[in-house]
Amino acid sequence: MVDAADAPDAGDRPRLDAFIAARDESLTRAQVQRLIEAGDVTVNGLAPAKAGVRLRAGDRIEVTIRPPVPVELVPEAMPLAVLFEDTHLVVLDKPAGLVVHPAPGHATGTLVHGLLAHVDDLAGIGGELRPGIVHRLDKDTSGVMVVAKDEPTQQALSAAFKAKTDVLREYVAIAAPAPPGARGTIRTLYDRHPVDRKRFSSKVDRGKPAITHWEVVERLRLGAAVVRCRLETGRTHQIRVHMADSGWPLVGDPLYGRRYAGELADLARRVQRLELAHPATGARLAFTTEPPADFLALLAALREPAQPSSGKR
């Protein structure tokens, strides 16, 4: 049981879910709302009727955090686009729509489940629920991923990604509107959004440093552009946040972007180039994925000149 302490001064009266999420950064607002719905939150000993109830000074909030239900990782055979594999690691092209590792709402059908069927003795390497995983791509991001097949490789790759040594990560996306210049670097502090705990923000006073280098590759119709981004740091959602906070959101980003109609409603998923030094041999490995079909279709539409209307007036 977690005692959330006294509510704030009179006149402030925050929402219950927002107050708990602000006090415990390990909980998102959505997670708090689920706790409230499950009856695991009480205000002055009573279960609140809704997550948006307003608190008063002196209110006593208690939150019960139940132990997570154990997740058994069962290998699941699935097609994997393997780009390179040896006894130490496997490099693959992760498709959009595939979750990397088990998480709330995704207990099965993840990349980890497929890797367990593909690689012998992967379980336990680097973490119980994330065996072999060195870095992560968002569910709706396609691109190159490297997975360790043994503990020394896991440790060496994790250290390289953390220190940013011998690792190059580039992403390509379609942004609208386009950045005004040809290239630039975004350097900010980076932390969770102060209100929406599902999101991150570069407009914060405190946080970790985040650095993204960007370059306009091609300018398109409707004010859009193909943009290549190179990560110097690897914060969660970093490219999406940096581009959106700069005023150039990625097309099709459901969390940080905007809603479009017509051509721009299609999701422009990013593709990736990954270069790294092989932890065992020192050889330089470089991989580039081909853009997925929906990215190419949107790109073709934005390259074509607008067709005149054939309708009669």
Q: Looking at the annotation, which residues are catalytic? A: 138
**59-62, long-range: CB < 8 A, 24+ apart:** 59/6, 59/7, 60/6, 60/7, 61/3, 61/4, 61/5, 61/7, 61/16, 61/19, 61/20, 62/1, 62/2, 62/3, 62/4
CA distance 194 to 75: 38
> Beta 183-192 vs 208-219: how paired, if at all?
antiparallel
Comparing C-alpha atoms, which of 236, 51, 16, 277 is closest to residue 146?
A: 277
